[in-house]
């Protein structure tokens, strides 16, 4: 298999990032994601063809900002990228801070 040119690789990685999916539920209260920042696919994970789902427990402040994340499950090569991205997400405001489980999917194309 021939190597992928750098420009095509960038386009491919961008397309892969748009396939990342995230959901957030806080008990019975749904906190809609207002701003979703896609994760940067780690180069080593991409070269090793590592993909999959990372599940994070997210602490959301009343104003919708993320104050903390904790990895519940996922491949070690993907967890930091998922956490870095989700920390920049913004959720719908709520009178009280809440805790949500978020899934971030990494798909190798």
The answer as to whether 89 is a domain residue is yes
pTM over 0.95: no
Residue numbers of the domain that contains 30 = 22-106
DSSP letters, the chain, are -PPPPHHHHHHHHHHHHHT----EEBTTB---EEE-PPPPPPHHHHHTT--EEEEEEEEE-TTSBEEEEEEEE--HHHHHHHHHHHTT-EE---SS-EEEEEEEEE---
CATH of the domain at 39: 3.30.2420.10
Count of domains observed in the chain: 1
The answer as to whether 10 is a domain residue is no
The answer as to whether 11 is a domain residue is no
Predicted confidence (pLDDT) per residue in 49-96, tens digit: 999 999 999 999 999 999 999 999 999 999 999 999 999 999 999 999
The answer as to whether 5 is a domain residue is no
The answer as to whether 37 is a domain residue is yes
């Amino acid at each position: 298999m021939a190597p992928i040119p750098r420009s095509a690789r960038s386009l491919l990685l961008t397309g892969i990032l748009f396939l990342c999916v995230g959901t957030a539920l806080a008990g019975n209260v749904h906190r809609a994601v207002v701003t979703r920042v896609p994760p940067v696919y780690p180069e080593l994970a991409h070269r090793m063809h590592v993909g999959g789902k990372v599940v994070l427990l997210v602490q959301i402040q009343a104003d919708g900002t993320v104050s903390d994340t904790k990895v519940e499950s996922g491949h070690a090569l993907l967890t930091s990228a998922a956490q870095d991205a989700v920390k920049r997400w913004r959720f719908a405001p709520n009178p009280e801070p809440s805790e949500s489980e978020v899934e971030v999917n990494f798909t190798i194309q």
